[in-house]
C-alpha cells in the first residue's frame, strides 16, 4: 500500500497543464505525479526537468527509454522498471529489444553506441556509483557533450523517481500493469 495517497483527478485543479502533457505521453495519470501534486511547486519543478530531459533532443527517444530502463533496473526499483519498459514500448522500442536490454553487452541488437550509453547508465545508477573514466572514454567515442548531458539527465531524472517511488511505495497504474502482466510478468 502506498505510503502517501495520490490526489484524485478532481483534486488536481490548477495543474491541468502538467497533467495533460504527462497523460498525453503516458496515456494515463501517473500516480507518482498525483502524489507529488500535494506540493504543486515541486510537481512543476519535476515536470519541467522531465520535459527538458525526455522531450526530443540530441539523442533519440528510443535510447533515452533504454537508458531509463537499464537505470531503473540497476537501482532496483521495480515500479520504475515497469514504467520505463512500458514507456519504452509506447515510444516504439521493440519488445524483443526490451527483453534483451540486460544483454546489451553481447546482444547484436545493440550498437556499440547503445552499449556505451547503457553501460554508463547502469554504472551511474548503482550505489556506490560505479561509473568510471573508461565508461566516459567509451561514451565519448559515440556521443557529443550535449548528448552525454541528455544521457546523464535521464539517469539523474529516473534516479529521483527510483528513490521517490520505492520510498513512497507508489502503486502501479492499470495500463502499465496490464502491459507488464502480458510481456514482463517478472516485474509485476
CATH numbers and ranges of domains, the chain: 58-187 (1.20.1290.10)
Q: φ and ψ at 13, to 5 degrees?
A: -65, 145
N-term to C-term CA, the chain: 15
pLDDT confidence of residue 47: 94
Alpha-carbon span 9 to 23, nearest angstrom: 12
pLDDT-derived band at 26, boundaries 50, 70, 90? confident
pLDDT at residue 27 above 90?
A: no
Q: Cell 491541468 maps to which residue?
A: 16
pTM of the predicted protein model = 0.94
| Tens-digit pLDDT profile for residues 124-149 | 999 999 999 999 999 999 999 999 99
pLDDT at residue 101 above 90?
A: yes
Amino acid at each position: 500500500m502506498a505510503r502517501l495517497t495520490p490526489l484524485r483527478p478532481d483534486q488536481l485543479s490548477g495543474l491541468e497543464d502538467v497533467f495533460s502533457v504527462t497523460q498525453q505521453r503516458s496515456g494515463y495519470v501517473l500516480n507518482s505525479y498525483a502524489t507529488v501534486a500535494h506540493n504543486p511547486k515541486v510537481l512543476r519543478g519535476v515536470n519541467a526537468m522531465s520535459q527538458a530531459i525526455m522531450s526530443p533532443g540530441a539523442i533519440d527517444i528510443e535510447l533515452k527509454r533504454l537508458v531509463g530502463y537499464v537505470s531503473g533496473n540497476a537501482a532496483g526499483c521495480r515500479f520504475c522498471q515497469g514504467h520505463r519498459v512500458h514507456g519504452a514500448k509506447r515510444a516504439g522500442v521493440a519488445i524483443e529489444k526490451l527483453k534483451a536490454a540486460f544483454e546489451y553487452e553481447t546482444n547484436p541488437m545493440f550498437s556499440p553506441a547503445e552499449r556505451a550509453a547503457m553501460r554508463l547508465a547502469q554504472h551511474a545508477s548503482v550505489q556506490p556509483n560505479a561509473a568510471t573514466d573508461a565508461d566516459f572514454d567509451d561514451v565519448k567515442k559515440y556521443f557529443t557533450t550535449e548528448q552525454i548531458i541528455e544521457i546523464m539527465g535521464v539517469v539523474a531524472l529516473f534516479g529521483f523517481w527510483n528513490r521517490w517511488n520505492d520510498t513512497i511505495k507508489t502503486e502501479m497504474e492499470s495500463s502499465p500493469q496490464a502491459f507488464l502482466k502480458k510481456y514482463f510478468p517478472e516485474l509485476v
